[in-house]
Amino acid sequence: MSNSNINAAKGRRYSTKEKADIIAFVDKVNADKGRGGQSAASKKYKISPLTISSWIRSGVGGGLAISAGGASVAGPIGKKLSKLQALHDQIARAEKELAKLKSQFNSLKSAL
């Protein structure tokens, strides 16, 4: 096998920014249409859908990766999980504050 055949098999290398831009495009299409982001990105950027899928799974290119029970979740699902976690935390804080207010209310009410 000659060196030219070895080099030809390597393919193009993408920078972290390029990967992030492509993953952002996938996320945008998925958000707008509900699905089809990888296929659209594959056609637009002339990249294999498997390559894009690999980037998303590994969280490269600045894609959002969340550890969920040891598994890595990236892309639009990871973003939704992140938003869910943030909302859950916000609700927990609000419920804690509400419990304090109810306690104060009941204390004042019983003092009447």
Residue 80 is predicted with a pLDDT of 77
In a domain, 40, yes or no: yes
Question: What's the distance, CA 97 to chain centroid?
Answer: 30
Range of the domain at 78: 13-110
> Which residues is 13 bridged to in the sheet?
none
In a domain, 5, yes or no: no
In a domain, 54, yes or no: yes
Residue 105 is predicted with a pLDDT of 95
- Give the residue among 41, 45, 70 at the shortest CA–CA distance from 56: 41
Tens-binned pLDDT, residue by residue, of the chain (112 aa):
445 455 555 678 888 888 888 988 988 888 888 888 899 999 999 999 999 888 888 876 544 444 444 444 556 677 777 778 888 888 989 999 999 999 999 999 999 8
In a domain, 8, yes or no: no
CB 61 within 8 A of CB 22: yes
In a domain, 6, yes or no: no
In a domain, 25, yes or no: yes
Residue 63 is predicted with a pLDDT of 44
Domain count across the chain: 1
Residue 73 is predicted with a pLDDT of 53
Statement: the pTM of the whole predicted model exceeds 0.85: no
In a domain, 23, yes or no: yes
Query: In angstroms, what CA-CA distances link 61 with 52, 54, 104?
Result: 10, 11, 50
Write phi, then psi, for 61 (nearest 5 degrees). 75, 20
Query: In angstroms, what CA-CA distances link 15 with 20, 33, 55?
Result: 9, 27, 12
